[in-house]
A and B are shown apart, each in its own frame.
Chain A
Amino acid sequence: MKCQKCEKPATFHITDITGKEGLLELHLCPDCAKHYLQTGEGQQETPKISGVLSTQLKLEQTAEDLKELDGKECPICGISFYEFRQAGRLGCPHDYVFFGEELEPLLINVHSGSQHVGKQPKRGVRDTESQTELIRLRREMKEAVQEENYERAQELRDRIRSIEGEGQSSE
Protein backbone atom coordinates (compact mmCIF):
# COMPACT_ATOMS: atom_id res chain seq x y z
CA MET A 1 0.00 0.00 0.00
CA LYS A 2 1.25 3.45 -0.91
CA CYS A 3 1.37 6.41 1.46
CA GLN A 4 -1.68 8.66 1.02
CA LYS A 5 0.47 11.77 1.02
CA CYS A 6 3.46 10.69 -1.09
CA GLU A 7 4.64 7.71 -3.14
CA LYS A 8 6.55 5.81 -0.47
CA PRO A 9 5.21 2.57 1.01
CA ALA A 10 2.76 3.07 3.87
CA THR A 11 3.86 1.35 7.04
CA PHE A 12 1.84 3.38 9.55
CA HIS A 13 -1.86 2.76 9.77
CA ILE A 14 -3.39 5.46 11.86
CA THR A 15 -6.97 5.61 12.99
CA ASP A 16 -7.84 9.03 14.24
CA ILE A 17 -11.22 9.61 15.75
CA THR A 18 -12.08 13.26 15.63
CA GLY A 19 -15.20 15.05 16.65
CA LYS A 20 -15.98 16.33 13.21
CA GLU A 21 -14.94 13.67 10.74
CA GLY A 22 -15.74 10.55 12.70
CA LEU A 23 -13.33 7.69 12.08
CA LEU A 24 -10.52 8.77 9.84
CA GLU A 25 -8.19 6.12 8.47
CA LEU A 26 -4.77 7.11 7.24
CA HIS A 27 -2.10 5.00 5.61
CA LEU A 28 1.21 6.81 5.74
CA CYS A 29 4.92 6.32 5.26
CA PRO A 30 7.10 6.90 8.34
CA ASP A 31 7.94 10.48 7.29
CA CYS A 32 4.39 11.58 6.66
CA ALA A 33 3.22 9.77 9.80
CA LYS A 34 5.79 11.64 11.85
CA HIS A 35 4.66 14.91 10.34
CA TYR A 36 1.03 14.07 10.96
CA LEU A 37 1.61 13.07 14.56
CA GLN A 38 3.84 16.01 15.38
CA THR A 39 2.20 18.91 13.69
CA GLY A 40 -1.09 17.89 15.13
CA GLU A 41 -2.95 18.11 11.86
CA GLY A 42 -6.48 17.56 13.00
CA GLN A 43 -5.47 17.53 16.66
CA GLN A 44 -6.32 19.90 19.42
CA GLU A 45 -4.52 20.82 22.56
CA THR A 46 -6.78 18.66 24.61
CA PRO A 47 -7.37 15.46 22.73
CA LYS A 48 -10.83 15.61 21.19
CA ILE A 49 -10.85 12.00 21.81
CA SER A 50 -7.94 10.35 23.19
CA GLY A 51 -6.27 10.81 19.93
CA VAL A 52 -4.24 9.04 17.48
CA LEU A 53 -4.33 5.31 17.42
CA SER A 54 -1.50 3.63 15.62
CA THR A 55 -3.44 0.50 14.99
CA GLN A 56 -5.75 -0.41 12.23
CA LEU A 57 -9.45 -0.51 12.71
CA LYS A 58 -10.85 -3.58 11.05
CA LEU A 59 -14.24 -2.80 9.67
CA GLU A 60 -14.31 -5.61 7.18
CA GLN A 61 -18.01 -5.48 6.42
CA THR A 62 -19.39 -5.49 2.91
CA ALA A 63 -21.35 -2.45 1.74
CA GLU A 64 -24.65 -4.17 2.42
CA ASP A 65 -23.67 -5.36 5.88
CA LEU A 66 -22.50 -1.88 6.70
CA LYS A 67 -25.74 -0.31 5.53
CA GLU A 68 -27.75 -2.64 7.69
CA LEU A 69 -25.45 -2.06 10.62
CA ASP A 70 -25.65 1.71 10.15
CA GLY A 71 -29.40 1.56 10.58
CA LYS A 72 -29.23 -0.23 13.94
CA GLU A 73 -30.52 2.01 16.74
CA CYS A 74 -30.01 1.77 20.49
CA PRO A 75 -33.43 1.26 22.17
CA ILE A 76 -32.33 3.34 25.16
CA CYS A 77 -30.90 6.54 23.69
CA GLY A 78 -31.84 6.18 20.02
CA ILE A 79 -28.35 6.64 18.56
CA SER A 80 -27.75 4.78 15.28
CA PHE A 81 -24.50 3.00 14.48
CA TYR A 82 -24.14 5.43 11.57
CA GLU A 83 -24.24 8.38 13.95
CA PHE A 84 -21.65 6.76 16.19
CA ARG A 85 -19.43 6.06 13.20
CA GLN A 86 -19.69 9.66 12.05
CA ALA A 87 -19.19 11.26 15.43
CA GLY A 88 -16.88 8.77 17.12
CA ARG A 89 -19.01 9.15 20.25
CA LEU A 90 -21.56 6.82 21.78
CA GLY A 91 -25.00 7.91 23.00
CA CYS A 92 -25.42 6.13 26.33
CA PRO A 93 -23.88 3.43 28.58
CA HIS A 94 -26.16 0.76 27.09
CA ASP A 95 -24.48 1.18 23.68
CA TYR A 96 -21.54 -0.85 24.96
CA VAL A 97 -23.91 -3.80 25.32
CA PHE A 98 -26.12 -3.06 22.33
CA PHE A 99 -23.26 -2.49 19.86
CA GLY A 100 -20.99 -4.86 21.79
CA GLU A 101 -20.23 -7.11 18.86
CA GLU A 102 -19.24 -4.22 16.63
CA LEU A 103 -17.26 -2.44 19.33
CA GLU A 104 -15.23 -5.43 20.39
CA PRO A 105 -12.81 -5.51 17.40
CA LEU A 106 -12.36 -1.74 17.70
CA LEU A 107 -11.59 -2.00 21.40
CA ILE A 108 -9.14 -4.84 20.87
CA ASN A 109 -7.33 -2.85 18.20
CA VAL A 110 -7.15 0.30 20.22
CA HIS A 111 -6.44 -1.21 23.62
CA SER A 112 -4.64 -4.23 24.94
CA GLY A 113 -7.69 -6.47 25.06
CA SER A 114 -11.36 -5.94 25.75
CA GLN A 115 -11.60 -7.05 29.38
CA HIS A 116 -11.40 -4.39 32.07
CA VAL A 117 -8.89 -5.27 34.81
CA GLY A 118 -8.62 -1.92 36.60
CA LYS A 119 -10.44 -0.58 39.63
CA GLN A 120 -14.15 -1.13 40.16
CA PRO A 121 -16.80 0.89 41.93
CA LYS A 122 -17.07 -0.29 45.51
CA ARG A 123 -20.83 -0.07 45.29
CA GLY A 124 -22.41 -2.99 43.47
CA VAL A 125 -22.89 -2.82 39.75
CA ARG A 126 -26.27 -4.51 40.17
CA ASP A 127 -28.42 -1.42 39.71
CA THR A 128 -26.95 -0.39 36.35
CA GLU A 129 -29.89 -1.83 34.46
CA SER A 130 -32.49 0.20 36.27
CA GLN A 131 -30.26 3.26 35.78
CA THR A 132 -30.16 2.65 32.04
CA GLU A 133 -33.90 2.16 32.12
CA LEU A 134 -34.16 5.68 33.52
CA ILE A 135 -32.46 7.08 30.43
CA ARG A 136 -35.02 5.38 28.19
CA LEU A 137 -38.02 6.40 30.28
CA ARG A 138 -36.95 10.03 30.43
CA ARG A 139 -36.53 10.04 26.65
CA GLU A 140 -39.94 8.49 26.13
CA MET A 141 -41.45 11.01 28.51
CA LYS A 142 -39.97 13.91 26.55
CA GLU A 143 -41.38 12.42 23.35
CA ALA A 144 -44.79 11.96 24.95
CA VAL A 145 -44.79 15.60 26.02
CA GLN A 146 -43.82 16.69 22.53
CA GLU A 147 -46.68 14.68 21.10
CA GLU A 148 -48.94 16.23 23.75
CA ASN A 149 -49.76 12.75 25.02
CA TYR A 150 -49.93 13.87 28.64
CA GLU A 151 -51.57 10.74 29.92
CA ARG A 152 -48.62 8.67 28.74
CA ALA A 153 -46.18 11.29 30.04
CA GLN A 154 -47.79 11.12 33.47
CA GLU A 155 -47.53 7.33 33.48
CA LEU A 156 -43.87 7.50 32.52
CA ARG A 157 -43.14 10.10 35.15
CA ASP A 158 -44.58 7.87 37.85
CA ARG A 159 -42.37 4.98 36.75
CA ILE A 160 -39.31 7.25 36.69
CA ARG A 161 -40.10 8.44 40.20
CA SER A 162 -40.55 4.93 41.50
CA ILE A 163 -37.17 3.82 40.09
CA GLU A 164 -35.49 6.95 41.44
CA GLY A 165 -37.13 6.23 44.77
CA GLU A 166 -35.72 2.70 44.89
CA GLY A 167 -32.29 4.08 44.15
CA GLN A 168 -32.51 6.55 47.02
CA SER A 169 -33.63 3.98 49.58
CA SER A 170 -30.83 1.55 48.70
CA GLU A 171 -28.15 4.18 49.37
Chain B
Amino acid sequence: MVIDELHDRCGEWLKGDGPQSDIVMSSRIRLARNLADFPFIRRCNDIDRANIESTVRERLGREGAFTTLNFFNVAKLNSLDRQLLVERQLISRELSNADGARAVAIDSSERLSLMVNEEDHLRIQVMKSGLNLDGAWEQINQLDDDIESRLTYAFHPKFGYLTACPTNAGTGIRVSVLVHLPALAITHQIEKVFRSLQKINLVVRGLYGEGTQAMGDFYQISNQVTLGKTEREIIDQVADVIPYVIDYERKARQYLLDEKQNDLFDRVSRAYGTLQTAQQISSEETMYLLSRVRMGVNLGLIDNLEIPNINQLFLRTQPAHLQKICQQALDTDQRNVERANYLRRQLKRDDTDAQSN
Protein backbone atom coordinates (compact mmCIF):
# COMPACT_ATOMS: atom_id res chain seq x y z
CA MET B 1 0.00 0.00 0.00
CA VAL B 2 1.33 3.45 -0.85
CA ILE B 3 -0.13 6.70 0.37
CA ASP B 4 -1.28 7.71 -3.09
CA GLU B 5 -3.68 4.77 -3.21
CA LEU B 6 -5.48 5.92 -0.11
CA HIS B 7 -7.50 8.89 -1.29
CA ASP B 8 -9.32 6.68 -3.76
CA ARG B 9 -10.48 4.29 -1.14
CA CYS B 10 -13.41 4.34 1.14
CA GLY B 11 -11.98 4.16 4.66
CA GLU B 12 -13.66 2.24 7.43
CA TRP B 13 -15.37 5.07 9.23
CA LEU B 14 -17.14 6.28 6.09
CA LYS B 15 -18.26 2.94 4.76
CA GLY B 16 -21.76 3.70 5.92
CA ASP B 17 -22.61 0.18 7.04
CA GLY B 18 -22.83 -1.49 10.41
CA PRO B 19 -25.54 -1.14 13.07
CA GLN B 20 -27.40 2.21 13.26
CA SER B 21 -25.24 3.63 10.50
CA ASP B 22 -27.82 6.27 9.55
CA ILE B 23 -26.83 8.07 12.76
CA VAL B 24 -23.67 6.39 14.03
CA MET B 25 -20.76 6.88 11.64
CA SER B 26 -18.12 4.90 13.51
CA SER B 27 -17.03 3.35 16.77
CA ARG B 28 -13.46 3.75 17.86
CA ILE B 29 -11.33 2.50 20.74
CA ARG B 30 -7.77 3.50 21.39
CA LEU B 31 -5.29 2.34 24.00
CA ALA B 32 -2.36 4.44 25.23
CA ARG B 33 0.74 2.38 26.06
CA ASN B 34 4.38 3.14 26.87
CA LEU B 35 7.52 1.05 26.89
CA ALA B 36 8.91 0.52 30.39
CA ASP B 37 12.55 1.19 29.54
CA PHE B 38 12.25 4.61 27.91
CA PRO B 39 11.28 8.01 29.28
CA PHE B 40 7.96 9.44 28.15
CA ILE B 41 8.11 11.43 24.91
CA ARG B 42 8.59 14.80 26.59
CA ARG B 43 11.87 13.63 28.09
CA CYS B 44 13.07 11.68 25.04
CA ASN B 45 15.91 12.96 22.93
CA ASP B 46 16.23 12.14 19.23
CA ILE B 47 18.14 8.94 19.94
CA ASP B 48 15.49 7.69 22.37
CA ARG B 49 12.73 8.37 19.87
CA ALA B 50 14.60 6.60 17.09
CA ASN B 51 15.25 3.66 19.43
CA ILE B 52 11.60 3.40 20.41
CA GLU B 53 10.57 3.42 16.77
CA SER B 54 13.07 0.79 15.71
CA THR B 55 12.33 -1.41 18.75
CA VAL B 56 8.60 -1.39 18.04
CA ARG B 57 9.13 -1.97 14.35
CA GLU B 58 11.54 -4.81 14.89
CA ARG B 59 9.54 -6.63 17.59
CA LEU B 60 6.21 -6.35 15.79
CA GLY B 61 7.65 -7.07 12.38
CA ARG B 62 9.19 -10.40 13.37
CA GLU B 63 6.17 -12.62 12.81
CA GLY B 64 2.43 -12.96 13.27
CA ALA B 65 -0.42 -10.50 13.00
CA PHE B 66 1.67 -7.39 12.45
CA THR B 67 3.74 -8.48 9.47
CA THR B 68 0.94 -7.55 7.08
CA LEU B 69 0.69 -3.98 8.35
CA ASN B 70 1.92 -1.06 6.27
CA PHE B 71 4.51 0.95 8.17
CA PHE B 72 4.77 4.63 7.28
CA ASN B 73 7.69 6.70 8.48
CA VAL B 74 5.72 9.85 9.31
CA ALA B 75 8.88 11.94 9.71
CA LYS B 76 9.67 11.35 6.03
CA LEU B 77 6.19 12.07 4.67
CA ASN B 78 5.50 15.50 3.19
CA SER B 79 2.87 17.68 4.83
CA LEU B 80 0.20 16.85 2.23
CA ASP B 81 0.53 13.10 2.84
CA ARG B 82 0.47 13.65 6.58
CA GLN B 83 -2.66 15.72 6.28
CA LEU B 84 -4.27 13.02 4.17
CA LEU B 85 -3.71 10.54 7.00
CA VAL B 86 -5.15 13.03 9.49
CA GLU B 87 -8.26 13.51 7.37
CA ARG B 88 -8.71 9.74 7.22
CA GLN B 89 -8.40 9.61 11.04
CA LEU B 90 -5.42 7.27 10.75
CA ILE B 91 -3.06 9.60 12.57
CA SER B 92 -3.67 12.48 14.95
CA ARG B 93 -2.85 16.07 14.19
CA GLU B 94 -0.36 15.88 17.04
CA LEU B 95 1.58 13.05 15.40
CA SER B 96 1.46 14.86 12.08
CA ASN B 97 2.88 18.07 13.52
CA ALA B 98 5.44 16.54 15.91
CA ASP B 99 9.20 16.45 15.35
CA GLY B 100 11.62 13.55 15.25
CA ALA B 101 11.23 9.84 14.65
CA ARG B 102 7.60 8.78 14.50
CA ALA B 103 5.58 6.27 12.55
CA VAL B 104 2.21 4.74 11.93
CA ALA B 105 1.29 1.17 11.02
CA ILE B 106 -2.01 0.71 9.22
CA ASP B 107 -3.82 -2.41 8.06
CA SER B 108 -5.13 -2.48 4.52
CA SER B 109 -8.77 -2.13 5.61
CA GLU B 110 -7.85 1.00 7.62
CA ARG B 111 -9.51 -0.39 10.72
CA LEU B 112 -6.33 -0.60 12.73
CA SER B 113 -3.76 2.09 13.19
CA LEU B 114 -0.80 2.01 15.51
CA MET B 115 0.91 5.31 16.12
CA VAL B 116 4.47 5.31 17.43
CA ASN B 117 5.85 8.32 19.34
CA GLU B 118 2.66 10.31 19.59
CA GLU B 119 1.93 11.67 23.08
CA ASP B 120 2.64 8.13 24.31
CA HIS B 121 5.07 5.65 22.76
CA LEU B 122 2.17 3.65 21.40
CA ARG B 123 -1.36 4.61 20.51
CA ILE B 124 -3.30 1.60 19.28
CA GLN B 125 -6.57 2.38 17.56
CA VAL B 126 -9.33 0.20 16.13
CA MET B 127 -12.22 1.68 14.19
CA LYS B 128 -15.46 0.00 13.10
CA SER B 129 -18.19 1.28 10.87
CA GLY B 130 -21.51 1.97 12.62
CA LEU B 131 -22.17 1.17 16.28
CA ASN B 132 -19.86 -1.72 17.10
CA LEU B 133 -17.88 -1.09 20.28
CA ASP B 134 -17.83 -4.77 21.21
CA GLY B 135 -16.21 -5.66 17.91
CA ALA B 136 -13.67 -2.88 18.34
CA TRP B 137 -12.83 -3.98 21.89
CA GLU B 138 -12.46 -7.62 20.97
CA GLN B 139 -9.98 -6.77 18.23
CA ILE B 140 -7.97 -4.20 20.15
CA ASN B 141 -7.78 -6.32 23.29
CA GLN B 142 -6.23 -9.16 21.29
CA LEU B 143 -3.79 -6.85 19.55
CA ASP B 144 -2.78 -5.37 22.88
CA ASP B 145 -2.10 -8.85 24.30
CA ASP B 146 -0.04 -9.67 21.26
CA ILE B 147 2.02 -6.48 21.50
CA GLU B 148 2.50 -7.00 25.22
CA SER B 149 4.00 -10.44 24.59
CA ARG B 150 6.70 -8.73 22.50
CA LEU B 151 7.38 -5.52 24.45
CA THR B 152 7.45 -4.63 28.15
CA TYR B 153 4.79 -2.02 28.91
CA ALA B 154 5.19 0.55 31.68
CA PHE B 155 2.70 -0.70 34.26
CA HIS B 156 2.12 -0.17 37.96
CA PRO B 157 -0.25 -2.29 40.09
CA LYS B 158 -1.95 0.80 41.50
CA PHE B 159 -1.85 3.24 38.58
CA GLY B 160 -2.26 0.68 35.80
CA TYR B 161 -0.78 1.42 32.38
CA LEU B 162 1.41 4.47 32.88
CA THR B 163 0.80 7.29 30.42
CA ALA B 164 2.51 10.60 29.75
CA CYS B 165 -0.60 12.46 30.84
CA PRO B 166 -2.17 11.32 34.13
CA THR B 167 -5.65 11.76 32.67
CA ASN B 168 -5.07 8.62 30.56
CA ALA B 169 -3.57 6.44 33.29
CA GLY B 170 -5.09 3.14 34.42
CA THR B 171 -6.70 1.49 31.44
CA GLY B 172 -5.35 4.03 28.94
CA ILE B 173 -8.60 3.55 27.05
CA ARG B 174 -10.55 6.09 25.03
CA VAL B 175 -13.88 4.89 23.69
CA SER B 176 -15.46 7.17 21.08
CA VAL B 177 -18.60 7.01 19.02
CA LEU B 178 -19.01 9.43 16.13
CA VAL B 179 -22.65 10.43 15.65
CA HIS B 180 -24.45 12.57 13.07
CA LEU B 181 -27.11 14.71 14.79
CA PRO B 182 -28.49 17.25 12.29
CA ALA B 183 -32.10 17.17 13.51
CA LEU B 184 -31.11 17.80 17.12
CA ALA B 185 -29.08 20.76 15.88
CA ILE B 186 -31.96 22.16 13.80
CA THR B 187 -34.42 21.81 16.68
CA HIS B 188 -31.95 23.38 19.15
CA GLN B 189 -32.01 20.38 21.45
CA ILE B 190 -28.37 19.49 21.10
CA GLU B 191 -27.27 21.55 24.12
CA LYS B 192 -29.67 19.63 26.31
CA VAL B 193 -28.16 16.35 25.17
CA PHE B 194 -24.66 17.69 25.74
CA ARG B 195 -25.48 18.79 29.26
CA SER B 196 -26.86 15.44 30.26
CA LEU B 197 -23.84 13.65 28.80
CA GLN B 198 -21.45 15.93 30.65
CA LYS B 199 -23.26 15.20 33.89
CA ILE B 200 -22.34 11.54 33.57
CA ASN B 201 -18.70 12.40 32.79
CA LEU B 202 -18.80 11.83 29.06
CA VAL B 203 -17.02 14.23 26.75
CA VAL B 204 -18.68 15.60 23.62
CA ARG B 205 -16.64 17.24 20.90
CA GLY B 206 -17.36 18.54 17.46
CA LEU B 207 -15.48 16.90 14.66
CA TYR B 208 -13.29 19.45 13.02
CA GLY B 209 -12.74 20.12 9.39
CA GLU B 210 -10.38 22.72 8.04
CA GLY B 211 -8.97 24.91 10.82
CA THR B 212 -11.06 24.74 13.93
CA GLN B 213 -14.50 24.87 12.38
CA ALA B 214 -17.03 22.32 13.50
CA MET B 215 -17.77 19.81 10.80
CA GLY B 216 -21.36 19.24 9.70
CA ASP B 217 -23.26 18.17 12.82
CA PHE B 218 -20.84 15.36 13.63
CA TYR B 219 -20.14 14.84 17.30
CA GLN B 220 -17.79 12.53 19.05
CA ILE B 221 -18.97 11.11 22.38
CA SER B 222 -16.24 9.60 24.55
CA ASN B 223 -15.31 8.61 28.07
CA GLN B 224 -13.29 10.81 30.36
CA VAL B 225 -12.49 8.44 33.20
CA THR B 226 -9.75 5.88 32.55
CA LEU B 227 -8.71 4.87 36.07
CA GLY B 228 -10.77 3.10 38.73
CA LYS B 229 -13.06 1.32 36.29
CA THR B 230 -12.60 -1.75 34.14
CA GLU B 231 -12.42 -1.46 30.35
CA ARG B 232 -15.81 -3.21 30.19
CA GLU B 233 -17.41 -0.67 32.55
CA ILE B 234 -15.98 2.23 30.56
CA ILE B 235 -17.15 0.79 27.23
CA ASP B 236 -20.60 0.10 28.67
CA GLN B 237 -20.87 3.62 30.01
CA VAL B 238 -20.54 4.98 26.48
CA ALA B 239 -22.46 2.12 24.83
CA ASP B 240 -25.42 2.47 27.21
CA VAL B 241 -25.97 6.11 26.43
CA ILE B 242 -25.75 5.92 22.63
CA PRO B 243 -29.22 4.35 22.13
CA TYR B 244 -30.74 7.33 23.96
CA VAL B 245 -28.87 9.76 21.75
CA ILE B 246 -29.99 7.86 18.64
CA ASP B 247 -33.55 7.83 19.91
CA TYR B 248 -33.50 11.62 20.52
CA GLU B 249 -32.19 12.23 17.02
CA ARG B 250 -34.83 9.95 15.46
CA LYS B 251 -37.59 11.69 17.41
CA ALA B 252 -36.31 15.08 16.29
CA ARG B 253 -36.27 13.87 12.67
CA GLN B 254 -39.82 12.54 13.02
CA TYR B 255 -40.92 15.83 14.53
CA LEU B 256 -39.46 17.71 11.57
CA LEU B 257 -41.21 15.34 9.16
CA ASP B 258 -44.56 15.62 10.95
CA GLU B 259 -44.63 19.25 11.96
CA LYS B 260 -42.14 21.15 9.83
CA GLN B 261 -42.30 19.27 6.58
CA ASN B 262 -42.09 22.27 4.28
CA ASP B 263 -39.28 23.76 6.26
CA LEU B 264 -37.38 20.46 6.26
CA PHE B 265 -37.86 19.82 2.53
CA ASP B 266 -36.77 23.36 1.83
CA ARG B 267 -33.57 23.02 3.87
CA VAL B 268 -32.66 19.72 2.27
CA SER B 269 -33.33 20.70 -1.32
CA ARG B 270 -31.63 24.06 -1.02
CA ALA B 271 -28.58 22.31 0.40
CA TYR B 272 -28.60 19.77 -2.41
CA GLY B 273 -29.13 22.48 -5.03
CA THR B 274 -26.26 24.60 -3.73
CA LEU B 275 -23.87 21.67 -3.76
CA GLN B 276 -24.93 20.84 -7.33
CA THR B 277 -24.48 24.35 -8.67
CA ALA B 278 -21.93 26.29 -6.59
CA GLN B 279 -18.91 27.69 -8.45
CA GLN B 280 -16.77 28.02 -5.34
CA ILE B 281 -17.40 26.64 -1.89
CA SER B 282 -15.53 26.47 1.40
CA SER B 283 -14.88 23.30 3.30
CA GLU B 284 -17.06 24.58 6.12
CA GLU B 285 -20.09 25.28 3.92
CA THR B 286 -19.65 21.95 2.18
CA MET B 287 -19.80 20.09 5.48
CA TYR B 288 -22.81 22.07 6.57
CA LEU B 289 -24.73 21.39 3.36
CA LEU B 290 -23.66 17.75 3.06
CA SER B 291 -24.96 17.23 6.57
CA ARG B 292 -28.43 18.37 5.46
CA VAL B 293 -28.28 16.24 2.34
CA ARG B 294 -27.20 13.22 4.35
CA MET B 295 -30.23 13.60 6.59
CA GLY B 296 -32.41 14.07 3.51
CA VAL B 297 -31.21 10.78 2.07
CA ASN B 298 -31.80 9.00 5.38
CA LEU B 299 -35.35 10.32 5.46
CA GLY B 300 -36.01 9.30 1.87
CA LEU B 301 -36.31 12.88 0.61
CA ILE B 302 -33.53 12.38 -1.94
CA ASP B 303 -33.63 9.08 -3.74
CA ASN B 304 -30.79 9.11 -6.27
CA LEU B 305 -28.00 9.21 -3.70
CA GLU B 306 -26.63 6.59 -1.34
CA ILE B 307 -25.22 7.20 2.14
CA PRO B 308 -21.78 5.74 1.35
CA ASN B 309 -21.49 8.21 -1.56
CA ILE B 310 -22.23 11.16 0.68
CA ASN B 311 -19.84 9.90 3.32
CA GLN B 312 -17.18 9.80 0.62
CA LEU B 313 -17.90 13.40 -0.29
CA PHE B 314 -17.32 14.49 3.31
CA LEU B 315 -13.85 13.02 3.07
CA ARG B 316 -12.90 13.85 -0.50
CA THR B 317 -13.77 17.52 -0.18
CA GLN B 318 -11.24 17.87 2.66
CA PRO B 319 -8.15 19.90 1.65
CA ALA B 320 -5.57 17.12 1.32
CA HIS B 321 -7.94 14.72 -0.43
CA LEU B 322 -8.98 17.41 -2.87
CA GLN B 323 -5.37 18.18 -3.74
CA LYS B 324 -4.65 14.49 -4.26
CA ILE B 325 -7.65 14.22 -6.57
CA CYS B 326 -6.55 17.30 -8.52
CA GLN B 327 -2.96 16.07 -8.43
CA GLN B 328 -1.58 19.48 -7.56
CA ALA B 329 -1.02 21.82 -4.64
CA LEU B 330 -3.89 24.29 -4.24
CA ASP B 331 -4.27 27.36 -2.05
CA THR B 332 -7.54 28.08 -0.24
CA ASP B 333 -9.16 30.01 -3.11
CA GLN B 334 -8.18 27.41 -5.66
CA ARG B 335 -9.46 24.69 -3.39
CA ASN B 336 -12.82 26.41 -3.09
CA VAL B 337 -13.15 26.41 -6.87
CA GLU B 338 -11.93 22.83 -7.29
CA ARG B 339 -14.16 21.67 -4.46
CA ALA B 340 -17.19 23.13 -6.22
CA ASN B 341 -16.09 21.55 -9.51
CA TYR B 342 -15.69 18.19 -7.84
CA LEU B 343 -19.08 18.40 -6.14
CA ARG B 344 -20.83 19.38 -9.37
CA ARG B 345 -19.24 16.41 -11.15
CA GLN B 346 -20.21 14.00 -8.39
CA LEU B 347 -23.73 15.32 -7.88
CA LYS B 348 -24.42 15.95 -11.58
CA ARG B 349 -28.09 16.34 -12.31
CA ASP B 350 -28.00 13.46 -14.72
CA ASP B 351 -31.80 13.61 -14.94
CA THR B 352 -31.61 16.68 -17.21
CA ASP B 353 -29.24 14.96 -19.65
CA ALA B 354 -30.90 11.59 -19.56
CA GLN B 355 -34.51 12.64 -19.67
CA SER B 356 -34.35 15.42 -22.26
CA ASN B 357 -33.99 12.87 -25.04
Residues of A within 8 A of B (CB): 17, 30, 34, 37-40, 43-54, 76-79, 87-93, 96-97, 103, 106-107, 110-123, 125, 127-128, 131-132, 134-135, 138-139, 142, 167
Contacts and interface: CB of A to CB of B under 8 A. Distances in A.
B42 A128 contact: no
Interface of B: 34, 36-43, 45, 47-48, 86, 92-94, 119, 141, 144-145, 148-149, 152-162, 164-171, 173-174, 191, 194-195, 198, 201, 203-208, 212, 214, 224-231
B228 A111 contact: yes
Interface of B is mostly: mixed
A43 B167 contact: no
Given A34-B195, A111-B225, A77 B205 contact: no
A46 B149 contact: no
B28 to A, nearest CB: 11
B36 A107 contact: no
A54 B198 CA distance: 8
B159 A96 contact: yes
Given A50-B174, A121-B155, A92 B227 contact: no
Contacts of A46: 92-94
B203 A51 contact: yes
A91 B170 CA distance: 17
B170 A111 contact: yes
B43 A120 contact: no
A138 B47 CA distance: 11
Contacts of B170: 111, 116, 118
Contact of B168 (A50, A114, A115, A119): A50
A113 B191 CA distance: 29
Contact of B226 (A44, A50, A134): A50
A91 B34 CA distance: 12
A92 B40 contact: yes
Given A38-B206, A79-B42, A103-B166, A132 B229 contact: no
